[in-house]
Amino acid sequence: MTNEEITSSDGGGAAPTVEIDDMILVSVDDHVVEPPDMFDNHLPSKYKDLAPRVIRADDGSDVWFYEGQQLPNIGLNAVAGKPPEEYGIDPTTFAEMRNGCYDIDDRIADMNANGILGSMCFPSFPQFCGQLFSRTEDKTVALAMLQAYNDWHIDEWCGSYPGRFIPLALPAIWDPEAMAAEVHRVAAKGCRAVTFSENPEKLGWPSFHNEHWDPFWQAVSETGTVVCLHIGSSSELTITSIEAPINVMITLQPMNIVQAAADILWSRVLVDFPDVRFALSEGGIGWIPYFLERVDYVDEHHRAWTGQDLPDGMLPSDLFRERFITCFIDDAAGIKNRHDVGIDHMTWECDYPHSDSTWPESPERLSRSLGGVPAEEVHAITHRNAMRLFRYEPFSVIPEADCTVGALRAQAVDVDTVARPSGRTIERPDSPIRIIDLAERVAAKKD
């Protein structure tokens, strides 16, 4: 906790210092639902028959099919454009989804309609860390699939609209040497971000405290690649009880990122690899002042016996602010305390097309949260930090004046953003849906 004066962002009262139309928005966390043809142009011909493909399942849903298995949930939580009554029901066909989930032209239209200049898109069906491919027994096949994925993502998805995306690679998580090589390979194509797990031990790999990952840390250090840890990327949900209402799980899901933050902050990775940077994707920011105060308290009270020293006598809070990139969707507490969070590493995200997204009213919501915040700080939070930290240079491709919310929305006047019900009959439950109810629903779908 610093001693500086807080400038109140009053979260609803103070006038914006930057007009909505003049804001420039870069979202460092969105999601792509992969289109069925994604492997067509990116696999050596000998692997083409092995590639994941989309099939129509017996129940009429679209599913990815790979190595003899159907993968449910093509579009987990891909509910953009649905009314909130339907948020609990994942779309089961591409036709049920908003096109912008998987079609690059429609994605750009939806970004324009929301005034979003740049976007970083996390994967859907291969899971956050490409776990799907890690289960492939023949690792040459696994690597071919993973590289095809990364090439599609970088060259086709992001490449179709230069200046509009921050590419993000999947890691060859089963082999740190292969991970390192792939980091170098994609960096040469301009990709300087890679997804990883907030806790690899929970996925069955060694922890952050193990030297196992050193080739990977070395490669991201050498290439200036940011390691992005998305909430949920440990595949472990914090469940208080299966009898608990689903709201308990929804509430806690982003808050659990604090575990990864603590785990990494006290790990040897930050000490031994001073150039590694971690992004806490969808991690929120309002918890950070408390967290930083806590880690400094732990350092002060316990350093005499725990044997833990930080580099150059740094405080843990200093180390956090130097090596972590934070991000938020809509987080008034974090904005209000932005100088305690650390304003230089704060970025913003839209989370399209998931249910926590503010699409298509992100500029309005964000502007309200940023009321009273000085313009320079608004620009840092909305785009300049993301550009610097992820080496993203849109203005080299698109004139800055064409990158604003107003300019982008002017290109999207014909985009219909009104929520469209699916037509299914949805009855609101009489009592709160419980975690076990949702688990049973998923199990029933698999049968």
What x/- string results for residues 209 through 248 when contact with a second copy is judged by CB under 8 A? xx---------------------------x-xx-xxxxxx
* Polymer length of the chain: 447
Q: Crossing angle of helices 139-151/176-188, nearest 10°? A: 30
Q: Which is nearer to a second copy, 290 or 395 (CB)?
A: 290
Please identify, among the stretches 59-67, 97-105, 262-270, 408-416, the one whose residues bind a second copy according to the rule CB under 8 A: 262-270
Q: How far is the CB of 265 from a second copy (least distance, A)?
A: 8
Structure tokens belonging to residue 344: 């230089």
Interaction of residue 208 with a second copy, rule CB under 8 A: yes
Taking the C-alpha atoms of residue 151 and residue 143, their distance in angstroms, rounded to an integer, is 12
Q: What are phi and psi of 370, to 5 degrees?
A: -95, 10
Residues 416-445 that bind a second copy (CB under 8 A): 426, 428-434
DSSP structural state of residue 426: -
Q: How far is the CB of 419 from a second copy (least distance, A)?
A: 11
Q: Which of 35, 130, 254, 363 binds a second copy (CB under 8 A)?
A: 254
Structure tokens belonging to residue 420: 């469209």
Taking the C-alpha atoms of residue 231 and residue 247, their distance in angstroms, rounded to an integer, is 17
Q: How far is the CB of 293 from a second copy (least distance, A)?
A: 5
Taking the C-alpha atoms of residue 22 and residue 16, their distance in angstroms, rounded to an integer, is 11
Q: Which is nearer to a second copy, 182 or 198 (CB)?
A: 198
DSSP structural state of residue 5: P
Interaction of residue 3 with a second copy, rule CB under 8 A: yes
Q: Which is nearer to a second copy, 36 or 88 (CB)?
A: 88
Q: Which of 255, 375, 398, 415 binds a second copy (CB under 8 A)?
A: 255
Q: Which of 102, 278, 287, 320 binds a second copy (CB under 8 A)?
A: 287
Q: Which is nearer to a second copy, 16 or 123 (CB)?
A: 16
Q: Which is nearer to a second copy, 40 or 85 (CB)?
A: 85
Q: How far is the CB of 262 from a second copy (least distance, A)?
A: 4
What x/- string results for residues 139 through 178 when contact with a second copy is judged by CB under 8 A? ----------------------------------------
Q: How far is the CB of 431 from a second copy (least distance, A)?
A: 6
Q: How far is the CB of 398 from a second copy (least distance, A)?
A: 32
- Side-chain-side CA neighbours of 71 within 13 Å: the count stands at 18
Taking the C-alpha atoms of residue 64 and residue 57, their distance in angstroms, rounded to an integer, is 9
Taking the C-alpha atoms of residue 430 and residue 312, their distance in angstroms, rounded to an integer, is 58
- Side-chain-side CA neighbours of 263 within 13 Å: the count stands at 19
Taking alpha carbons only, the member of 359, 393, 405 closest to residue 24 is 405
| 222 within 8 A of 273, measured Cβ to Cβ | no
Total number of residues binding a second copy (CB under 8 A)? 85
Residues 326-365 that bind a second copy (CB under 8 A): 330-334, 336-337, 340, 355-356
DSSP structural state of residue 19: -
